[in-house]
Structure 1
Amino acid sequence: MEGVNSVSFSRLFKIFVLWQAAILVVTIAAQYSSLPLRETYLGSGTQGYVEKPWLYSRQNFDGMHYTYIARRSYGYSQQAFFPLYPTIMRKLMTLPFLNNAVTAGILVSTAFFLAGLYLFVKLIRLDYSSDVVKWTILALLLFPVSFFFTSIYTEGLFFFLTVAAFYSARTRHWLLAGIFGALASYTRFIGIFLLPALFFEWWQQGRRFKHFLPLLLIPLGLGIYMIYLNRTTGDPLAFFHVQVNFAQLRSEKLILLYQVFWRYVKMLFTVNRADPLYLTIVLEFVSGIVFLVTTVYSFIKHRLSYSVFNFLAYLTPTLTGSFTSLPRYVLLCFPSFLLIGELLSRSPLARKIVLGTFALAFIIFLSLFARGYWVG
C-alpha cells in the first residue's frame, strides 16, 4: 500500500484489480458450494445466470431493474430507481462493441468507483496521514457488501459523485461542486443532502456569496426527475411512494430510530436461524449500531460538512421503519469509514479483528448474493 501514500493511481489500480479478482474467485467458488440456488431475482434469468454466473450475478435484484430501464425506460413501480445511472448505461449501449446492458452497467459502476477511490485518497490526504489513507481504503474494500460498488447498482457512480463534490468544495472549485452535486441528486435521493453539507463547508471557508451560488445547482437533478415523474405518473414523489413494493417492513409513515432497533431485537430472537436471511438481519442490525456510533462520533472528529452528510445519509433510510439494505446504503457514509481507518491506523489489534471480520463476512455475503439471496 505504499503507493497509496503518494496517491499513486497505478498502485491503487493494482489493489483494485486484486479486489475484483477476489470477487470473481468467491463468486465462482459459490457455485460449487452446498448453498441452494434461489432463482427469483437472478440476473438474466436462470438460464443466462447458470451459463455465466460470474457475470450475471452482478445483475441480481436491483440490477435487473436498471438493465430494464436502460433498455426500455421505466416500467411498473420502477420509479424508485433514479435516472442517471441507466441513462449512462443506455449511452454506452449505443457503441457497436458494447450493446449488452449487463456489460455496460458493470463497466459504468467499475469505472466510476475506481475514479471515486482515487479522489477519495486525495480527499483524505487533505487532512490525514498516508497511514490513515491505507487503512481507510482497506476497510472500505473489505466491508462485507463492498461488492455492490461494481455490481449493477448506483453505489459506484454515487460514491464518485459524492467524493468529487466534496473534493471540489474543499479545493474551492465551487462550480464543479455544484455540478457534481446536481448529478448526485439525479442518481440517488440522498444526493440532495450535499446541499446542507456543502453549505457548512462554504460557511467554514469564508462565506463569499458568489461561491454559494453554484451550490444551488444541487437540487436541480432531483427537481428534473420530479418534473418527469409528475408528467409521466402524476406523482412527483413516486420514487418514494413505490418503495413499499421493494422491501418488507418499510412504511410510508415516519418511524423513529429506536423503534427500528426494537424491531430488529425481536427479529433476532424470532427468525429461524437456519435461514440464510438470518445472517442478513444480523448484518443489518450490526451495521445500524456501528454506523450510528461512527455517525455521532464524526461530529466530534470531522469537519461539520462531512458529519452532516454522514448523519443524513445514515438516518434517512431508517425512517421508513427498517434497516433493509442499510449495509449497502452505509457504503456511502465515507466519514464513517474514515473513522474506522483512523482506528486501524492506531491499533494493530483492531486491524486483526476488524479486517479479519470484514473479510470473512465479505466472503459469506458475496456468496449469498451470488446464489440469489437478498443481502442488501
Structure 2
Amino acid sequence: MININTYLTKINYQFNYQKLWFPALMWLISRFIIFFVMFVVMPIASQTSHITINQYGWWDVLFAWDSAWYYQIATTGYNYGLDFTKTQYSVAFFPLYPLLIWILTQIKIPVVIAGLLINNLAFFAALIVLYSWLEERYEQNTARWATATMAWCPYSIYGTVMYTEGLFLLFSISALRAFDKKKYVWAGFWGVLSSATRITGITLLPAFFLTAWKQKRPITAYIASLSVAGGVLIYSLYCWIKFGDALAFLNAQKAWRTSTGFAWQGWWHMLMQVVIGGKNAAVADIKDPWYLLQFAIIIITSCLLLRFRRKIGDTKVRYSFFLLWLVLWLMAGESLIKIVLIFGGLYLLWYYRPSIPLVSAIYGFCSYGIALNTGLTASVERYVYAIAPLFIVSGLLFSKYPRWGYAVMAFGGLILALFCVRFAQNFWLA
C-alpha cells in the first residue's frame, strides 16, 4: 500500500520541477551566450585589436555606464548639490539595489561580485515567477514562450551586468502576480520593493488602485495599492533628512535631460533613418539613392508576398519575410530594432489587453507613459524591456504563431551576442 505522505511528496516534487526546469534552461543557455562572448570571445579579440579587457578585474566586461554609479553609492554613499541642473549626482538612482550590495559587502563579498550576484539571481528568480504565474493562469505553452522572450530579448543583457533590471523585474512581476491572485499583503510588499528599486515601480499604484475600483475588490486591495508608494516615500524622507530636499532624486534628473515629454523629433528622425536611410536623414536630402531603391524593393516584395501567399505557400512566405527583415536590419541597424520593440510592444499590449490581467494592462500602459515621456529616445528600449506585461502578450502571440516565435528567438540571440560585444567594449547600448 502506497504511503500517502510519500505520494504527496512525489507530486509536489514533480510540480516544482516542472515550474523550474524550463526557466532554468532558458536562463542557463541565454546566460551562456553572454558569458561566452564576454569572457571567451572578447579576450581573444583584445589580443588582436585595441580593445582593453580586464582593466580593473575579471568582471570588467560586466561593468559599465550606470554600474559605476551603483558602485559609488554602495561604497561612498549618495551625493547631491545645488547645481543639480548642471552636475550629475548619484541621488538620481534609487537605493534598494546599492543597499543590498552594501549588505553583502559586510560579509566580505567584493562590491562588483555582490552586484552581479544580486542581479543575476534576481533575473533567474523573475523567470521562475513569470513562468509559474502564466502556467497557472493560461497554459504551459504560453508560459514557455513568455519566459523564452524575456530570456532571449537582446536587452536581457541588463539582467546579467551590474544593473537593476533583474531585481526590478523580480519585484514587479511578483507584485503583479500577487495582486492578480488577490494576495494583497504580498502585493503591497513586492510593490514597496519595486518602488524602492526604480521610480517606475510607482506605476504599480495606479494599476492596483484602478483594478481594485474596476473589479470592486475589498478595502485591502486599496491599502495594497497605496502601500506601493512606501519605497518612494522612504527614499524621499532620506533625501529630506540628508540633503534638505525631499525631491532630490527628481531634481537630480535635470542634469541627465533638459526637457520632458514625448521626444517627437527624436523618434521621427529614427523613423526616417529606417525609411530613407541614415545618410539621407542626417542631411535631410537624397545623398544615398541606393538605400531608397533597396527599401522600395523590400516594400514591393512584401506586398507581392502577401498578395500571392496562397500560391507560394505559408512556409515559403514566412522564410521570405524573415529574410527581408534581416536585409532591412542590415540596412537600418539598431533604429529598426528600437522602433519595433518599443512601438510594436505597445501595439501588442493594446491588442491583447482583453486577454491579460487588468492589473497588468494598466501597469503596462502607465509604465509606457513614463518611458515615452522622458524627453529622450536614449535608454527608452531598456525601460520598455522592464515592463513585464510585454512578456505576457509575447507569450500569447508566439503560442499562437510558434514558427514566428522560433525566428524571433534566433534573431534575438544574434542581437544579444552583438550587444555583449558592444557592452564589453564600453560602447553605449541603452
TM-score normalised according to structure 1 size: 0.85
Evaluate the alpha carbon distance shift between residue 360 and residue 337 of structure 1 in structure 2; reply closer, same or farther with a 3 A threshold. same
Q: Alignment length, in residue pairs? A: 356
Match in the other structure for 1:251: 258
Q: Percent identity?
A: 27
| Equivalent in the alignment of 2:129 | 119
2:359 is aligned to 305
Equivalent residue in structure 2 for 1:32, among 15, 19, 44: 44
Equivalent residues in 2 for 1:187-266, closer than 5 Å: 187-203=197-213, 206-246=216-256, 250-253=257-260, 255-256=261-262, 258-265=264-271
Match of 1:171 in 2: 181
Does the C-alpha gap of structure 1 residues 189 and 128 become closer, same or farther in structure 2, counting only changes over 3 Å? same
Assess if the C-alpha contact under 8 Å between 1:260 and 1:318 holds in 2. no
Which whole-Å CA distance do the structure 2 matches of 1:36 and 1:239 have between them?
41
Could you tell me how far 1:229 is from its partner in structure 2?
A: 2.0
1:87 is matched with 99
**Residue in structure 2 matched with residue 66 of structure 1 by the alignment:** 70
* Range that drifts further, 13-22 or 107-116: 13-22
Q: Specify which of 147, 152, 161 is matched with residue 142 of structure 1.
A: 152
1:12 is aligned, of 23, 36, 39, to: 23
Shift of 1:105: 0.2
Out of 386, 392, 397, the position equivalent to 1:343 is: 397
298-307 vs 255-264, greater mean Cα deviation = 255-264
Contact conserved, 2:209 with 2:221, CA < 8 A, in 1? Answer: no
2:30 maps to a residue whose letter is W
Question: How far apart, CA to CA, are the structure 2 residues paired with 1:124 and 1:13?
Answer: 16
Moved more, 201-210 or 82-91: 201-210
Deviations 1:95-125 (A, max 9, x none): 13x1x10000011111212121111112112
2:342 aligned with 1:288: yes
How has the CA–CA distance of structure 1 residues 183 and 338 changed in structure 2, closer, same or farther, with 3 Å as cutoff? Answer: same
AA in 1 matched with 2:101: M
* 2:55 aligned residue (37, 41, 47): 47
CA spacing shift, 1:256–1:14, aligned 2, 3 Å: closer
Distance 2:420 2:348 in 1: 24
- Equivalent residue letter for 1:19: S
1:8-38 Cα distance to aligned partner (Å, 9 max, x none): 3244324322222211111131343489767
Q: TM-score, normalised by structure 2?
A: 0.75
Per mean C-alpha deviation after superposition, the further-off stretch among 6-15 and 76-85 is 6-15
Query: By how many angstroms is 1:128 displaced?
Result: 1.2
Give unpaired runs (5+ residues) of structure 1: none
Which residue of the partner structure matches residue 416 of structure 2?
362
Q: Which of structures 1 and 2 has the bigger CA Rg?
A: 2
Following superposition, the deviation at residue 57 of structure 1 comes to: 1.9
Letter in 2 for 1:110: N
SS in 2 for 1:333: coil
| Aligned partner of residue 32 in structure 1, secondary structure | helix
When the two chains are superposed, the root-mean-square deviation of aligned CA atoms in Å is: 2.9
